[in-house]
Amino acid sequence: MLRFIAHRAMRGAASISPTNYGTVSLYNNGHGEDILAVWMITNNSGGAGGAVSFQQGMVGSVAGTVSSVVTGDAPNYGVIYTLDSAAAFTNYIGLTDGYATVDGLPLAKFPSYFLQPNWSLCVQALTANVLEQAAFLWQVVHRQDIMGVPCPVCDVTIAVVT
């Protein structure tokens, strides 16, 4: 079972007042085996509803706010961007009603989404010219963490010789 580990977790948020379709994205700027396990998305699109989708590459250019869950921890992978998109995404995988809804729970037994390096998880307002706000809670994991086997990167044992 994948555990929520606060020292590996990050949170971030952004908002955009678009002319077209407002999009807030979480981009995995990690590399290799660094997968983002997204535990929670909070979306507020003024009641217009929001569409959740995966998009390859970085979506947007203006960075949102990102911080470690544990105060003082070094930043980990994951960047928040916004985009005023002329076209709506059509390959969405989930919907929200747009009234500060929460998709997933931070202490659920399993994350809502997994994000490979160089992919974005996007929340986009379903109506043009509507304020889009989104917040994400995620942590960096590896394939072994997801499969429930010891991870050579995370599960380092230090031997003490006496």
Give the pLDDT of residue 137.
92
Give the pLDDT of residue 15.
92
* Both tokens assigned to 39: 């535990």
Burial zone of 141 (CB within 10 Å; 0-12 exposed, 13-18 middle, 19+ buried): buried
The verdict on residue 159 lying in a domain is no
The verdict on residue 64 lying in a domain is yes
Using 50, 70 and 90 to split pLDDT, how confident is the model at 96?
Answer: low
| Tens-place pLDDT, residues 15-33 | 999 999 999 999 999 988 8
The verdict on residue 157 lying in a domain is no
Mean pLDDT of the chain: 83
The verdict on residue 58 lying in a domain is yes
The verdict on residue 162 lying in a domain is no
Select the more confidently predicted residue: 97 or 85: 85
Range of the domain at 54: 6-147
The verdict on residue 1 lying in a domain is no
Domain count, the chain: 1
The verdict on residue 127 lying in a domain is yes
Give the pLDDT of residue 151.
72
Burial zone of 26 (CB within 10 Å; 0-12 exposed, 13-18 middle, 19+ buried): buried
| Tens-place pLDDT, residues 98-127 | 555 555 555 567 788 999 999 999 999 888
